[in-house]
Structure 1
Amino acid sequence: MGAAFFPIFFFTALWGGVGIGLPIMTPKGPHQNLIRCILMLTAACCWLFWLCCYMAQMNPLIGPRLKRDAIQMIAKSWDNPLKDG
């Protein structure tokens, strides 16, 4: 299972628009540079957070933990008896 193209492209374009497009449209004023910096940092942090969450789903560190009874029931229904050992 790998990364799908569309979600990565879509969210990169979305946060790229926030980080590049919105700072261009900031109104003139004494805090224009601060607003631009805030928008760019917000876009970078949100995109990075989304990317980390998306990538963490590709190879989860913790899988489901089944009880021994559940494992035996699954093995029996799949005609694959468990080996003792």
Structure 2
Amino acid sequence: MEKFGVALIIFTLFWGLIGIVLPFLIPKGPNKRLIQIMLILTSACCWLFWLCFYLHQWKPLFGPQLKSTDARILRSLWGQEL
């Protein structure tokens, strides 16, 4: 399995544990439901943020865009004549 698949499984299991399993382990109290909702929402948002960040680095939508005239100007300014 490639690195992407391993990372995806590990982080999904980690945030799934926090968002699905951990809310059932909260002791009874007046704020139990609030703490459960906070754990679920936090884990979902953190997992989604991580996924978007990781996918953006894995397959960027576009690379650096520089026109050829701009590249020539930069080369001449930096001392690398063509």
Tell me, yes or no, whether TM beats 0.5: yes
CA distance in 1, matches of 2:22, 2:60: 35
| Contact 1:19 1:41 (C-alpha < 8 Å) held by counterparts | yes
Partner of 1:39: 39
Unaligned runs of 5+ in 1: 77-85
1:6 Cα deviation after fit = 0.3
Partner of 1:12: 12
When normalised by structure 2's length, the TM-score is: 0.72
User: RCO greater where, 1 or 2, for CA within 8 Å and sep 6 or more?
Assistant: 1
CA distance in 1, matches of 2:63, 2:48: 24
Higher helix share: 2
CA distance in 2, matches of 1:61, 1:32: 42
Partner of 2:50: 50
| Contact 1:23 1:35 (C-alpha < 8 Å) held by counterparts | yes
Unaligned runs of 5+ in 2: none
SS at match of 1:57: helix
Give the fraction of aligned pairs with identical amino acids, expressed as a percent.
48
SS at match of 1:41: helix
| Contact 1:23 1:40 (C-alpha < 8 Å) held by counterparts | yes
| Contact 1:3 1:58 (C-alpha < 8 Å) held by counterparts | no
1:4 Cα deviation after fit = 1.5
When normalised by structure 1's length, the TM-score is: 0.70
- What is the Cα-based RMSD across aligned positions, in Å? 2.4
